[in-house]
Chains A and B, each alone.
Chain A
């Protein structure tokens, strides 16, 4: 919640000394409230005012990295409750839980599953982001060894240390300090010790309590102990607790600017049945989790959860789009077929994927239609004969090919006549309606 000019004014020295470049402290305060200047322009401001103003201007939900390196994931930083208001910002991290009581072989296998989980969907690389090592053995030496092993076998994944024994956790943190593991976590019983470990190693810490109320008291305590990067575990287990707690936490942070809950949320959704687990995970993904801990990461499950996360975190105002240009697929020669489509990412990736499947080299002319699908763009008047003709002429593709034939998506067959009029000397061919028929279509022509 931003402070008003008057509220800020009360915190200033009120000497009107003009060193900030403003005639009065009040004028400076007014400008500051609008975000037009920085507080540091006033050399005489008190430490207390700095602290209060700094806090008031901090984002309502703290943002920091989970893990290190290129594949670190930003968590937190959300600004809305509903995605139609504004884009959800930082897609939640997915983590696989492994117990340190597994054999080394099993641990290595699970860590490799995480390491090799990356797939490409609609131009984005999606993966399981983290591995969470659970302290189940009760043996600190075993825990440290397991953590080392997992971190080594999943070299780019973030590491979460699910261990409430501060001594065991401390040793494990040290073992993988360079990976900036997330310490999971602190509760009423061990908060001091855990906070000390987190602080000493500069790693984030999960606060674990039953319900948002108890949790807020705990995060205040942990903050008081000098830890700033905090993740919230409200103890939510059932789908209902997840949706209720997470909603209360997000609302408190955004609508009440309630700092003790202004942190990213972690939910564990472990269930014996992987399908059921996938369904409960989707509740957490949709309803505000920043980290979701899973018990298994089958490929089918990953694909579905990645897709849900991708869908919900797209910008509601701007559909995902690709660049307008003539894409060459499979080293096409001058006589290779030329096809056209719109620049909606989903459309582009489906169509180009099917052209690849056909193994027939081709050119795909992708026209800017503000990211709309073929039929939507057509209905919106952005994929019309006149516009297509203009795009083809201006693209210069004519100079690169030895024919004048353009293949249209079957869904807009209706455009073919008008297009033949507008693109003189060209032959317009209507392709299949659905992209999955493209391989057969192209092969039959070759």
Chain B
């Protein structure tokens, strides 16, 4: 019996866009194959990792990640510079967490100010995230989109409950947009359709099917992402062809495995490595399922996943 390489040829292709400015802009998406299968297709752009920062001190982050940014995390500008200049981040994700009503309930204007300051301080591409409060995000992200006008950012997340204003703002200020739904391929598809029906180009969208941490529902995210990818490639479904986002750090750095001291759970080994491995492995699994853009927190986890990507592309 002679061996023939079993290749699939897909009719569909993942869309691609770039974000950021000039020579620092990065491209996401564009592959016409399942992740990293170069023997049957092309994956022209390497998955991108955006390093997460926020507009208020990360009091609720566990010590392992807090420690990594302790000298800079009091100030989003210093924090952003650190990511760019010291960690060589290829992109930065700024989370406007202080605007959440349960945090400091800071105003949309304040948030816009932070966005302006950060944009002035760095030139790597920026992802601008709200606090994930449906109502508040619809004002905060509008102000942020305006403040970032001309910088070609990714803003989000637009969800079923607030997408209209956020889509309009992304459209007006020429940004890319995150469409987030909750772990269901049909909901993801439906939201993408609703957004494109507003005249927003699908070539400027990125789908966030909702992430989950290793051990806490990772398998659901993994399979939803795989199904989205197969729909894009094998079924050539245009509503499933935007690239995929994995917002990894925020799901990982709150679960017990990244927080519990070794003294409490000696059988789990050292806390620092455990947390970093948790984030790195969650992120690696997301890449295999089809993620094009990852948002991550710990520098050592980011470095590890970058090394893995070096081997994968």
Q: How large is the interface on B (under 10, 10 to 19, 20 to 34, 35 or more residues)?
A: 35 or more
Least CB distance, B291 to chain A, in whole angstroms: 13
Contact across chains for A308 and B214 when beta carbons are under 8 A apart: yes
Given A240-B313, A279-B304, residue A286 in contact with residue B273 (CB < 8 A): no
Q: Which of B54-62, B92-100, B221-229 contacts A (4 or more CB under 8 A)?
A: B221-229
B residues 72-91 touching A (CB-CB < 8 Å): none
Taken together as a complex, chains A and B put the C-alpha atoms of A77 and B304 apart, in Å, by: 32
B189-204 vs A, Cβ < 8 Å mask (1 yes, 0 no): 0000000000000000
Contact across chains for B308 and A316 when beta carbons are under 8 A apart: no
A82 within 8 A of B: yes
B residues less than 8 Å from A119 (CB atoms)? 267-268
Nearest residue, chain B, Cβ from A214: B3
Contact across chains for A261 and B274 when beta carbons are under 8 A apart: no
B251 within 8 A of A: no
Q: Which of A145-153, A165-173, A225-233, A251-259 contacts B (4 or more CB under 8 A)?
A: A251-259
Least CB distance, A92 to chain B, in whole angstroms: 14
B256 within 8 A of A: yes
Taken together as a complex, chains A and B put the C-alpha atoms of A273 and B219 apart, in Å, by: 26
- Selected contact of B1 from candidates A220, A280, A307, A316, CB within 8 Å: A220
Least CB distance, B286 to chain A, in whole angstroms: 10
Least CB distance, B87 to chain A, in whole angstroms: 16
Given A240-B313, A243-B312, A301-B277, residue A314 in contact with residue B219 (CB < 8 A): yes
A residues 289-324 touching B (CB-CB < 8 Å): 298-305, 307-308, 310-312, 314, 316
Given A216-B1, A299-B267, A316-B219, residue A311 in contact with residue B214 (CB < 8 A): yes
A residues 421-446 touching B (CB-CB < 8 Å): 436
B284 within 8 A of A: yes
Taken together as a complex, chains A and B put the C-alpha atoms of A271 and B278 apart, in Å, by: 18
Taken together as a complex, chains A and B put the C-alpha atoms of A292 and B227 apart, in Å, by: 26
Question: A interface vs B, CB < 8 Å?
Answer: 82-84, 119, 121, 212-213, 216-217, 220, 238-240, 243-244, 247-248, 251-252, 255-256, 258-261, 273-276, 278-280, 282-283, 286-287, 298-305, 307-308, 310-312, 314, 316, 346, 350, 436
Provide 11 A-B residue pairs closer than 8 Å at the C-beta atoms, listed in order of the A residue: A239-B36, A240-B36, A243-B312, A244-B37, A248-B6, A275-B280, A275-B300, A278-B280, A298-B273, A302-B269, A303-B269
Question: B interface vs A, CB < 8 Å?
Answer: 1, 3-6, 8, 34-39, 214-216, 218-219, 222-223, 226-227, 230, 256-257, 267-270, 273-274, 276-278, 280-281, 284-285, 288, 300, 304-305, 307-308, 311-313
